[in-house]
Chain A
Amino acid sequence: MSKSSTLIELNSVYKTYFLGTQKVKALKNINFSIMHGDFIAIAGPSGSGKSSLLNLISMIDEPTNGEILYGDVKIKDLTDNQITSFRNKKIGIVFQNYNLIPVLNAVENVAFPLQINKVSKKESIERASNLLEEVGLGEHLNHRPNNLSGGQKQRVAIARALITNPEIVIADEPTAALDSKTGMDIINLMKHLNETKKTTFIFSSHDPKVIDNVDSVITLRDGEIIQAENAVLKSKEEVINS
Chain B
Amino acid sequence: MNYLDFAIRNIRRHKKRSLVTIFTICLGFTALGIMGGILNNIFSRLKEQSIITEKLGHITFAKEGFYENGKLHPEEYLWNEKEMKSIISILENSGDVELATPRLSLFGIASNGEASTIFITEAIVPEDDHVLIKTNVDGRTDREDISLAVAKDKNSDVAIGSELSSSLKLKEGDYLTLLTTTKDGIANAADVDIKKVYNTGNPANNDKYVLSNFYMAQELYDTKGAERIVVTLKEPKNIGEAQVKLNSLLKAAGYKVESKTWDKLSLTFGKVKTMFEVIFRVLTMIITVIVLLTLLNTMQMAVTERTREIGTIRAIGVLRKNIIKLFCAEGIIMGIIGCLLALPILFLIAFILKTLNVTFIPPVASTEVPIALILKPSKIVPVFVLFVVASLVSAFLASRKIAKQKVVISLSRTN
Q: Which A residues have a C-beta under 8 Å from some C-beta of B?
A: 55, 58, 60-61, 80-81, 84-85, 87-89, 93, 95, 99, 101-104, 112-113, 115-117, 121, 160
Contact check, A95 vs B6: say whether CB atoms are below 8 A apart: no
Interchain CB contact under 8 A, A58 and B2? no
Give the distance in Å from the alpha carbon of A32 to the alpha carbon of B102 in the complex.
Answer: 101
Cβ of B314 under 8 Å from chain A: yes
Is there contact, CB below 8 Å, between B6 and A84?
Answer: no
Alpha-carbon distance A160/B313, docked complex (angstroms): 11
Contact among A60, A85, A87 with B408 in the assembled complex (CB-CB below 8 Å):
A60
Nearest chain B CB to A154's CB is how many angstroms away? 14
Assembled-state Cα–Cα distance A116/B323 (Å): 12
Interface of B is mostly: helix
The answer on a CB contact under 8 Å between A88 and B316 is yes
A93 touches B13 (CB 8 A): no
| Closest residue on chain A to residue B410 by CB atoms | A60
Q: Indicate if the CB atoms of A99 and B408 lie closer than 8 Å.
A: no
Scoring B2, B10, B317 by chain A CB atoms within 10 A of each residue's CB, the highest score goes to B317
Please list the residues of chain B having a beta carbon within 8 angstroms of any beta carbon in chain A.
1-2, 6, 9-10, 12-13, 308-309, 311-320, 322, 406-408, 411
Are A101 and B312 in contact, CB atoms less than 8 angstroms apart? Answer: yes
B9 touches A121 (CB 8 A): no
Chain B contacts for A60, CB-based, 8 A: 311, 314-315, 406-408, 411
Question: When A and B form their complex, which 3 residue pairs have the shortest distance between CB atoms, in order from nearest?
Answer: A88-B317, A103-B9, A60-B407
Q: Which residues of A contact B406 (CB under 8 A)?
A: 60-61
| Chain B residues whose C-beta falls within 8 Å of the C-beta of A61 in the assembled complex | 406-408
List, in ascending order, chain B residues with CB within 8 A of A102's CB. Answer: 13, 309
B1 nearest in chain A by CB position? A115
CA distance A18 to B6 in the complex (A): 36
Instruction: Give the CA-CA distance A113 to B127 in the complex, in Å.
Output: 80
Rounded to whole Å, the gap between the CB of B145 and the closest CB of chain A is 66
A98, closest chain B residue (CB): B312
Q: What separation, in Å, do the CA atoms of A205 and B1 have in the docked complex?
A: 33
Residue of B2, B308, B312, B316 contacting most chain A CB atoms (<10 Å): B316
B408 touches A116 (CB 8 A): no
The one of A93, A99, A116, A160 in contact with B1, judged by C-beta atoms closer than 8 angstroms, is: A116
In the complex formed, the residue of B with least CB distance to A115 is: B1
Provided the pairs A60-B407, A61-B408, A104-B9 are in contact, do residues A93 and B313 lie with their beta carbons within 8 angstroms? no
Contact B319 A87 (CB under 8 A): no
Q: Flag if B408 contacts A103 (CB, 8 Å).
A: no
Please determine whether A103 and B13 come into contact, CB atoms closer than 8 angstroms.
yes
Task: Please state if A93 and B408 are interface contacts (CB–CB under 8 Å).
Answer: no
Q: Which residues of A contact B9 (CB under 8 A)?
A: 103-104
Q: Closest residue to A89 on the B side, CB-wise?
A: B317
Q: Contact: A116 with B316, CB < 8 Å?
A: yes
Asked whether A117 lies within 8 Å of B13 as measured between CB atoms, the reply is: no
| A81 and B320 alpha carbons, distance in the complex (Å) | 8
The answer to whether A87 touches B317, judged by C-beta atoms less than 8 angstroms apart, is yes
Task: State whether B315 touches A87 (Cβ < 8 A).
Answer: yes
With contact pairs A60-B408, A103-B10 given, residues A95 and B312 touching in the complex (Cβ less than 8 Å): yes
Q: Which chain A residues border B320 with CB–CB below 8 Å?
A: 80-81, 84
Q: Which residues of chain B are within 8 angstroms of A99 by Cβ–Cβ distance?
A: 308-309, 311-312, 411
Contact B316 A58 (CB under 8 A): no
In addition to A103-B10, A112-B316, 20 A-B residue pairs with Cβ atoms within 8 Å of each other are A60-B311, A60-B315, A60-B406, A60-B407, A60-B408, A60-B411, A81-B319, A84-B317, A84-B319, A84-B320, A85-B317, A87-B315, A88-B317, A89-B317, A95-B411, A99-B308, A102-B309, A103-B12, A115-B2, A116-B317
For the complex formed, measure the closest distance between the CB of B169 and the CB atoms of chain A, giving whole angstroms.
Answer: 80
By the criterion CB–CB under 8 Å, are B315 and A93 in contact? yes
A166 to B314, CA, bound (A): 16
CB <8 Å contact, A58 and B309: no
CA distance A120 to B332 in the complex (A): 25
